[in-house]
């Protein structure tokens, strides 16, 4: 059993090699080995209606509880204490070594692939505040237009026309359409799944989570209807090997925009609008407030509902989850941590200049 700990240094070596050669990671792993192993795994796990990752998470949690009990026993008893502690150390080291190795070889190396801007031929360049204002103005008009065609509930907030499982079944349409222009997004994967403990995910401030061990896109089924479609497509971007959060957000925008369903178009545009306006707020708050006056009353209601939903779940669990996620992102070379989500705006600006203005 102890021999499995050799997987730890192997994982570290693989990551070091990957950091040194993004081109090889892109060609050999992301567009090669990963495509070969991830799609069959995803289709197999996709046969199950429940999230296998969620079950594995519970199992791992139980394992931790059992090991803590063993540790408590070792601290209480005197006879055989060293043996208990040694066995405990070996078991934990073995499990963690195996999990890290599986994470790296099944999916984690995607963090070190070529940037999407390179493979999608989107030139990232310095943009002026005027460029950002024009992007925001464009997204506001698009969001207002889409919102006029969206169903509402009794409070005047966006309401999905079908149940969320049915909405999930339509998610792949956008990827099928957008992959004609961006072949790197081609893929045949299992459908995303709504986790059973969605409410807990809300307390943790999580809209979705991707499982690199089962290649499952898991989504929080309790999030507001306006953000649900884009959250689905975001996790599907991770399924396709795009690990960076900023790129997954941008891909979500692309795939939602290419989806024939108006709910997806609106949700993707809303995602892009929120990120772009947040960026403008940081640079020129007066201009951002001026542009926000163009929001339609319906759009304002949706944004207020989204803010109210997440504010309800703010607390120690959400703050702890954010810190853990921040640490995880930095550990995988997203050096700005959670703030790296803001880089989506650079991709949006490039896309806007290339596809919309020309």
Per-residue pLDDT tens over the stretch 112-132: 999 998 998 888 877 888 999
pLDDT of residue 331: 52
Write out pLDDT tens, residues 286-297.
999 999 999 999
Write out pLDDT tens, residues 297-328.
999 999 999 999 999 987 544 454 444 445 54
Joined together, the tokens standing for residue 28 give 């050999």
Longest Cα separation, the chain:
77
Q: In the predicted model, what is the mean pLDDT of residues 61-71?
A: 84
pTM: 0.89
Write out pLDDT tens, residues 175-185.
999 998 999 99
Beta bridge partners of 194: 219
Query: In angstroms, rounded to a whole number, what is the distance separating the alpha carbons of residues 28 and 229?
Result: 32
Write out pLDDT tens, residues 5-21.
899 999 999 999 999 99
Give ∠ CA 296-301-305 in degrees, rounded to 5.
150
Write out pLDDT tens, residues 104-115.
999 999 999 999
Residue at token pair 């081609």? 186
């Amino acid at each position: 059993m102890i021999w499995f700990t050799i997987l730890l240094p192997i994982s570290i070596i693989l990551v070091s090699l990957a950091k040194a050669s993004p081109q090889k990671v892109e060609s050999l792993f992301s567009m090669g080995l990963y495509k070969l192993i991830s799609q069959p795994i995803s289709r197999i796990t996709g046969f199950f209606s429940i999230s296998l990752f969620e079950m594995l998470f519970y199992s791992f949690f139980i394992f931790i509880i059992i090991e803590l009990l063993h540790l408590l026993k070792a601290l209480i008893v005197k006879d055989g204490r060293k043996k208990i502690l040694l066995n405990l150390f070996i078991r934990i080291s073995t499990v963690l070594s195996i999990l890290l190795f599986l994470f790296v070889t099944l999916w984690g190396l995607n963090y070190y692939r070529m940037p999407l801007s390179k493979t999608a031929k989107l030139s990232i360049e310095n943009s002026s505040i005027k460029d950002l204002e024009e992007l925001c103005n464009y997204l506001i008009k698009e969001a207002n237009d889409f919102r006029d065609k969206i169903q509402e509930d009794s409070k005047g907030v966006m309401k999905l026309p079908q149940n969320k499982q049915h909405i999930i079944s339509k998610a792949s349409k956008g990827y099928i359409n957008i992959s004609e222009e961006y072949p790197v997004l081609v893929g045949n994967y299992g459908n995303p799944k709504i986790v059973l403990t969605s409410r807990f995910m809300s307390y943790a401030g999580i809209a979705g989570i991707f499982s690199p061990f089962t290649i499952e896109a898991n989504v929080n089924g309790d999030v507001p209807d306006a953000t649900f479609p884009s959250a689905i497509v975001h996790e599907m971007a991770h399924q396709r090997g795009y690990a960076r959060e900023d790129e997954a957000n941008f891909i979500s925008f692309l795939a939602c925009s290419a989806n024939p369903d108006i709910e997806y178009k609106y949700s993707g545009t809303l995602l892009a609008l929120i990120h772009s306006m947040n960026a403008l707020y940081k640079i020129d708050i007066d201009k951002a407030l001026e542009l926000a006056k163009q929001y339609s009353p319906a759009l304002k209601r949706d944004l207020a509902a989204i803010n109210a939903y997440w504010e309800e779940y703010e607390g120690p669990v959400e703050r702890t989850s954010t810190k853990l996620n921040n640490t995880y992102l930095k550990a995988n070379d997203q050096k700005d941590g959670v703030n790296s989500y803001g880089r989506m705006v650079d991709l949006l600006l490039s896309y806007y200049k290339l596809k919309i203005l020309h």
